[in-house]
Amino acid sequence: MRPELWKFVAGHPVRRLVYFLALVGLVLALIAGLLFTVGRRGFGGSETIGFFRTDVAREVNTPFIVNRDGSHETQLGHDVGVLSPDGSKLLTVSEGNWARPAVSNADGSDLNVLEAYPGLEMQLRPIAWSPDGSRILVATGGPDVTPTGNGLHTVRSSDGGDLVQLVATPDDDGDSSQGYSADGSRVLFSRIGVGPGIFVVDADGMGLRQLSPSNVIPVDLDFWDAISADWSTDGSKVAFAGFVPPDGSGQVQLKQNERGASGLYVVNRDGTGLHTIVSPELGALSVRWSPRENVIAFTSGHLGRRHTPAGPELLDAPQVWLVSSDGSNRRRLTEGPGGSTAVTPVWSPDGRELLFQRKVGDAVTLWIMNSDGSRQRQLTSSVAADYVGGYGWPGLPAR
């Protein structure tokens, strides 16, 4: 799973709910494979699944782990963590006055808080390992930090030193990273706020480039910040969900309650070759690229103008779909029995299964299915009160 461990966006310390404690939505997923290191590259197994469950007040999201057959669901008192690419180390967050990366052996022993800057008043929340395991991507910020301190940085994984800024997040914006490309040369992130867009930056902080058109705003689901963009498996392309807001020209036709016309786009990582693979008519709200082929799992639907505790209202009965990266072979995997919605699919590390969450009324449960849509079965028996992000395969043995 990619590392999407905590509810923290660079430049905005806890914009919404408090669930990004740190499990690894690790999805990164985590992503990235959160972000992108998890799920696709750093994890070897798929016997356990980590997830969050939100309470009725939509204020606290509690981490759990469960076997992939639904057995031995266990509440956790801490984050699951993100395994290093070689599987020998576990990355978590140390919550003191200022957050810091912490690294232990894969079994949790010999914990080492990477405090190379004890006098630095800045959150350093880990997001992902670099593909070679030598660096850790961190999101920075905090209420007492100057705007120039907000952004995305990297540190050495051995001791937390050599702090390098990749991106300075502008005031009133928030940056959510989808992690490294496969070769470790670039980092992908989405920006929400005054200057929204999908961006890549070189791993040394040079070469910042916007990949999305200026009139396309990245989809922001609130409950899962990094789910609207993803690297291709080889890191040569990026897929993202974005919407075009009304501009007064009449060219963008929206329903009265729609926020924008959302579609699914693919672009080369140098910004060339942008093309639409899912039109705004069907809509796209989340993106996850298969770890083994050029197939993308996405959530159909549109963002509404009404805001719910989990984020923008999701319109037009969202369901899980697959589409080839060239826009061909589009197929629907979930049908919405009983008026249910199915959202935010996440691939297993081997690309053979998908996790997703299904909502009926106010009850949300986690489900799993084969990548062709067969054998859909409910994974969690207890329900959550709303959508919640950050689930995936942490690569741990069955319990």
Burial per residue of 198-213, b for 16 or more beta-carbon CB atoms within 10 angstroms, e otherwise: bbbbebebeeeeebbe
Q: In Å, what is the CA distance from 294 to each residue of 29, 198, 227, 262?
A: 18, 20, 18, 21
Contact 289, 258 (CB under 8 A): no
Read off the pLDDT of residues 111-150 as tens digits, 9 standing for 90 and up. 999 999 998 888 999 999 999 999 999 998 766 565 567 8
Residue type, 323: V
Check whether 335 has a pLDDT greater than 90: yes
**pLDDT classification of 385: cutoffs 50, 70, 90:** confident
C-alpha to C-alpha distance for 129 and 131, rounded to whole angstroms: 6
**Helix, strand, coil shares, percent, the chain, to 5:** 5, 45, 55
Check whether 24 has a pLDDT greater than 50: no
C-alpha to C-alpha distance for 278 and 276, rounded to whole angstroms: 6
Instruction: For residue 71, give every residue at least 6 positions away whose Cβ sits within 8 Å of its Cβ, in sequence order, or none.
Output: 399
Contact 386, 360 (CB under 8 A): no
**pLDDT classification of 54: cutoffs 50, 70, 90:** confident
Alpha carbons within 13 angstroms on the beta-carbon side of residue 168 total: 8
Q: Is 214 exposed, middle or buried (0-12, 13-18, 19+ CB in 10 A)?
A: exposed
Read off the pLDDT of residues 254-286 as tens digits, 9 standing for 90 and up. 565 666 779 999 999 999 999 999 999 999 999
Region 250-256: mean pLDDT is 51
Q: In Å, what is the CA distance from 22 to each residue of 62, 100, 155, 254, 259?
A: 10, 12, 18, 37, 30
Read off the pLDDT of residues 32-43 as tens digits, 9 standing for 90 and up. 333 333 333 333
Read off the pLDDT of residues 59-90 as tens digits, 9 standing for 90 and up. 787 888 899 899 999 888 766 788 899 999 99
Helices in the chain by DSSP H: which ranges? Answer: none
Residue 112 — φ and ψ, nearest 5°?
-130, 110
Q: What is the dihedral of CA 358, 293, 154, 78, to 10 degrees?
A: 30
Tokens of 203: 């791993």
Record the pTM: 0.86
Residue 185 — φ and ψ, nearest 5°?
-85, -20
> Cα 186 vs. chain centroid, distance in angstroms?
17
Check whether 45 has a pLDDT greater than 60: no
Q: How many helices (H) and strands (E) does the chain have?
A: 0, 30
Report angle CA 351, 229, 5 to the nearest 5 degrees: 75
According to CATH, the topology of domain 48-378 is Neuraminidase (2.120.10)
Contact 26, 394 (CB under 8 A): yes
Q: Give residue 119's pLDDT.
A: 87
Contact 64, 370 (CB under 8 A): no
Read off the pLDDT of residues 168-181 as tens digits, 9 standing for 90 and up. 998 878 899 999 99
Contact 264, 296 (CB under 8 A): yes
Answer with the residue of higher pLDDT: 297 or 11.
Answer: 297
Contact 377, 361 (CB under 8 A): no
Q: Where are the domains of the chain?
A: 48-378
Check whether 4 has a pLDDT greater than 60: no
Contact 26, 41 (CB under 8 A): no
Mean pLDDT of the chain: 83
